[in-house]
Amino acid sequence: MSADKNTRLAIYRTMVTIRQFETMAGEYFAAGQIPGFIHLSIGQEGSSTGVCSCLRPDDYVATTHRGHGHMIAKGADLKRMVAELFGKVTGYCKGKGGSMHIADFSVGMLGANGVVAAGLPIAVGAAHAQKLQKRDAITVCFFGDGAINRGPFLEALNWAQVYSLPVLFVCEDNRWSATTASGPMTAGAGASVRAESFDIPAVKVDGNDVLAVFAAAATLVQQVRSGIGPRLLHAITYRVKGHVSVDPAAYRHPDELNEALKTDPIARARAAYLQAGGDSGVLAAIETQATDEVAAAVAGADAAPWPDAAAAFTDIQTTGAGTWH
């Protein structure tokens, strides 16, 4: 399935909004205005946007510690996201969760997760519920290449295949597992081949070509929604920034980064649109709008109140401690 002109513009708008959001987050963290840590997805906008552009509002998404792009692509509110990063009471988690714990069930976002591979069993559980409820909605699970070397990856694929669950696994293969290159640490050819060993059909795609991601994801989403079982999309991309906000990524060779920057998904989408006869002024207007939206979200977060200290004792789970009988 190919993207028409309106879809291409919507995709471009989402990607530049993600880029503006992540750029802002990096700058405000460096200025000491964002507490905790953030994991930026700059350079990976193609995989998140290409997949989520094929989804419906009632489809679920489980994401990772590097989940801002997925949140935005699935339709999350920028103002509430920025407020959460800033620790303000108007944030998604009332300022308590920060970057790695944002969720919005109203748009199907089951949440980010700070534990590598933890989103996989969550996604499979959600997909199993969808099947039991006889819904035609599906679940998409994003994870990185580092996650495929953890047990939950194999457990999740096995359960999904055994019960023919409506889940699309999406491996965003950015080639780095924290501060270690994934290649030398991974036996075999990676996520797609491992999925096929479970008889789960898999497609490998250039994750920085958003139109290729969209086309592949559209087909896989349709297959999963039809009820024939899980699928896996293996998107090859690149993590431009370090693993976490304080990581300068000095462990990788500068030539590697320079080569990766030549495959920037936003630049490629812009070039493809213009080569097809598109108007550069339209793209410029979209870029300005994205910048303004992020700036408005920041202004709203700046003006929002901090949580009251007593709020630290609300929205918590009781374990029954002190209530022995």
pLDDT at 316 over 90: no
pLDDT at 208: 97
Using CA atoms, how far apart are residues 241 and 40, in angstroms rounded to an integer? 7
pLDDT value at position 322?
58
Residue (of 34, 19, 109) closest to 69 by Cα position: 19
pLDDT at site 2: 75
When pLDDT is averaged across residues 75-83 and rounded to a whole number, the result is 97
Q: Where are the strands (E) in the chain, listed by range?
A: 60-62, 109-111, 139-144, 167-173, 176-177, 180-181, 202-206, 231-236
- What is the structure's pLDDT at 323? 59
Name residues whose C-beta falls within 8 Å of residue 192's C-beta, 6 or more positions apart in sequence: 171, 202, 203, 204, 232, 234
Write down the architecture of domain 5-305 according to CATH.
3-Layer(aba) Sandwich (3.40)
For the record, the structure tokens of 278 come out as 């598109």
Structure confidence by residue, pLDDT tens digits, 214-223: 999 999 999 9
Cross-strand partners of 232: 169, 202
pLDDT (0 to 100) of residue 324 = 55
pLDDT (average), residues 243-264: 91
pTM (2 d.p.) = 0.93
Domain limits of the chain?
5-305
Tell me the C-alpha distance between 145 and 286, whole Å. Answer: 32
In the block, tokens 């081949």 appear at 193
